[in-house]
Amino acid sequence: MIKDIIVNLSVTKEGSVVGKYAVSVAAALEAHLTGVAFIYDPVVPISGAGYIPAEVIETQRDDNEAAAEAAIKSSAAANQAGVSAESLTTSASLAGAGDHFARMARRFDLAIVGQAQPEVSSMEQVIGETTLFESGRPMIVVPYIQKAPFKTDNVMICWDGSRTAARAVADAIPIIGNSGRVEIVIVANERGKQDEIEGADIGQHLARHGLKVDVHRISGGNIDVGDALLSHAADSGADLMVMGGYGHSRLREFVLGGATRSIFESMTVPVLLSH
């Protein structure tokens, strides 16, 4: 059961999207929600005289604190929705915020983060990737264009028979237990899997959990697997995608698999990821 959720509240001006979506998740699952807004340490250039003017540091610190407080206020809809919720601000460097949030997420059932908006801020992507690899918990990534609240009327599970896909399915079951429809999607051109009776066993497994399941095989053609999945999600009107997060963390540099990278960059629906 999902009863304890943490969300990273973006400190960008567009950051209210993930907070509002997280509130709707907590309301649907009857879970407690903790919102975290980071006060980032000042990053200022050294002046030509070789020192950083104190007023420059103070101004940036004040701006960062104001942004964090604004992010907290933007998630105040939790009270109106009757959700048990709390919020907090915490200081972190730009380099350390991802690790900090991932460590916090280990003590929750589910983490929610926002997709990074191009040319606005890359911190959401850093936090998302770190949480995927280091938290040991499932994570929902919310598109920055998201307007609809959390729904599971039409759930799309991306299946390739891998360990990470199996982990994602197991993590998703408590979340999608009341789904109207679950579609298991297999991309036909994935190498090494052509001889499998694809999706049959996992479909039976989910059906035993009381879910209405369809298995759908799609052709990826010459396009990226991630793009093929996103295209199908748009065509089928999926409310939520579920997939394993591929890649690894080496020397603190994140290396995502091709499909996972495409999803992070181009998602149009919320995606539940597990690693």
Per-residue pLDDT of 206-240, as tens digits, reads 999 999 999 988 886 677 888 888 899 999 999 99
What mean pLDDT is predicted for residues 119-144? 88
Q: Using DSSP, how many helices (H) and how many strands (E) does the chain show? A: 9, 12
pLDDT at 195: 45
Answer yes or no: are the C-beta atoms of 72 and 89 closer than 8 Å: yes
What mean pLDDT is predicted for residues 13-20? 78
The bridge status of strand 271-274 relative to strand 240-244 is: parallel
pLDDT digits (tens, 9 = 90+) for 103-127: 999 999 999 999 988 777 678 888 9
User: Token digits for 32?
Assistant: 């407690």
What mean pLDDT is predicted for residues 34-46? 77
Mean pLDDT, rounded, of the chain: 82
249 has a pLDDT exceeding 70: no
185 has a pLDDT exceeding 70: yes
Q: Phi then psi for 228, rounded to 5 degrees?
A: -65, -40
52 has a pLDDT exceeding 70: no
What mean pLDDT is predicted for residues 146-155? 94
Residue 202's contacts (CB-CB under 8 Å, 6 or more residues apart) are 157, 159, 161, 166, 169, 184
What mean pLDDT is predicted for residues 75-98? 79
pLDDT at 192: 44
Q: Residue 104: what residue type?
A: M
pTM of the predicted structure, to 2 decimals: 0.85
- CA-CA-CA-CA torsion sign (19, 68, 266, 106): negative
pLDDT at 255: 56
What are the angstrom distances between the C-alpha of 245 and each of 27, 46, 143, 147? 26, 39, 16, 24
Sheet holding 110-114, edge to edge: 85-92, 32-40, 4-8, 110-114, 139-142, 271-274, 240-244, 154-158, 181-187, 213-218
Q: How far apart are the C-alpha atoms of 247 and 164, rounded to whole Å?
A: 10
Q: How far apart are the C-alpha atoms of 207 and 177, rounded to whole Å?
A: 11
